Amino acid sequence: MLDVSRAILPLLLLLAFFAVKKYLAYREIVRTINDWPGFRTVFSERFLFFPFRVRGISPGHQWPFYSKHAEFARTGWDVVASVNLLPSPDLTLYVADPAIAKEIIGARARFPKPLETYALLATFGTNILVTEGEEWKRQRKIAAPAFSERNNKLVWDESFRIVDDMFENVWKNKDVVELDHVMDLTVPITLMVIGAASFGRRMSWNEDSIAPAGHTMTFKDALHEVSHRLFLSIIFPQWVLRLGNAKMRYFARAYGELDTYLKEMVQERRELGKKQESHDLFNSLLDANEGELESDARLTDSALLGNVFVFLVAGYETTSHTLAYAFIFLALYQEEQEKYYQSLKAAMPADRAPEYEELNSFAYSLAVFNETLRHFPPVIGIPKSNVEDTVLTVTNAAGEKRSLPIPRGTYIAICTPGLHNNPRYWDDPEAFKPERFLGNYPRDAFLPFSGGPRGCIGRGFAETEAVAVLTAIMSKYKVEVREEARFAGETFAQRKARLFKSQHSLTVYPERAPLVFRRR
């Protein structure tokens, strides 16, 4: 018994030594930042086992989505400091101050992107999102020309074609169309737009239901599954996924199918060479990569596939989910929908679909999209880090200023829900008011596509698609919430909370929102 005690005692002393060491490091961080208000917890918010806040244990990695600006209002400052003890003492800063956000985004050398947070998006290869410095510049130089006015026109034309095809062959020009979930509408539309405008793969609503030769899954199904459950590829290696439960095996199959599709498309376009004239993203990217560049300046096949995959996921997920939220907002807020419809009536040509050159006539459609993005930004935290010790000057609502010292290597998240709901810059931020985007608005407090040099390269693509889809559908149909007996008697607040109940994949999306579309 004595021998066992002698063996355990050194172990206990060692554990006590490490515990004291961690606590002292934790206290040193708190001292360094002058005990700036925020969270003091055992685990970091990046410890994914706690999605929601557990006081004293973890802020929860989804807290910005649910708290919006409330936590900043509680502390009285538009920067919140989160200090955790485990797994190692660490500091995270959350920023909802547009001036500070602009400073951080604009100073790329001082505040680079922490690339490890983007590992999930390097699944198919390095790409423009997961690189920094000279490598990022090289990739952006090759990718940027693909996002051209010619491509935007293709996006516009294909969006109207796809919606018209839906009216005729899916909705059958019925007066009333009931949907169990709004994403049954927005997901296929955006997948088909991506297929046509990104890859020159035109799909109709009545085809692409059977996998082509050499495949066990359609391109559309493979893309949807991989983007929806991409987190599995980080948690588990492929061999584990292939031996796992039914969902894991299905994801592994989809992952392999999508990889094969992408490689086939690269090979097919190379064999066609210049014989195929097309303005889709994929063709333009290949042309830029294999044109007059020196061989060592070109993207490798891995980087080419990596960029194509990011364009796919970003283009599909962000737009389909934001459009889903937009239709929910319009269904809930009938007065706002009527204002929007009257603007469409005034702008729509009488005898034809609007042309891309008339896009600016549909500013109200873009305003609806932007107001939806303000409420539901695709990314709830734009990650940055600082490469040197620095000091930020923070100003509160009363005009008081305080200096916040930030030690080198601090993880910084520009909190888009906090920024987009900051009452210092947005009047009645909880309300749905698309008109706020028809005039001057606080652009530095609106970052759904990030900003500065690292701003989203596909912003024009997404905006063009959203304006076209909203215009095409809402000019012909009125949208309402579908009535269900089990929810009879619910208040407006309860209905709103139910329809906006969300899940998280790469971006947030509504869990279930049954809607009705009525022909005008």
Radius of gyration from C-alpha coordinates of the chain:
25
Q: Using DSSP, state whether 501 is helix, strand or coil.
A: coil
d(CA 328, CA 323): 9
| Backbone phi, psi, residue 251, to 5° | -60, -45
Lookup: tokens for 386: 């600082």
Residues belonging to the binding site for heme are 456
Residues belonging to the binding site are 456
User: What is the b/e burial string over 28-65, where b = at least 16 CB atoms within 10 angstroms of the residue's CB?
Assistant: ebeebbeebebbebebbbbbeebeebeeeebbbbbbbb
Q: Please give the distance of CA 455 from its chain centroid, rounded to a whole number.
A: 13
Lookup: tokens for 420: 């987009």
Question: How many CB atoms sit inside 10 A of residue 321's CB?
Answer: 25
Q: Are 454 and 105 in contact (CB under 8 A)?
A: yes
Nearest to 499, CA basis, from 488, 515, 486, 518: 515
Nearest to 64, CA basis, from 318, 398, 412: 412
Geometric angle at alpha carbon 451, from 472 and 298, rounded to 5°: 90
Cβ neighbours of residue 350 closer than 8 Å, sequence gap 6 or more: none
Lookup: tokens for 367: 């305003």
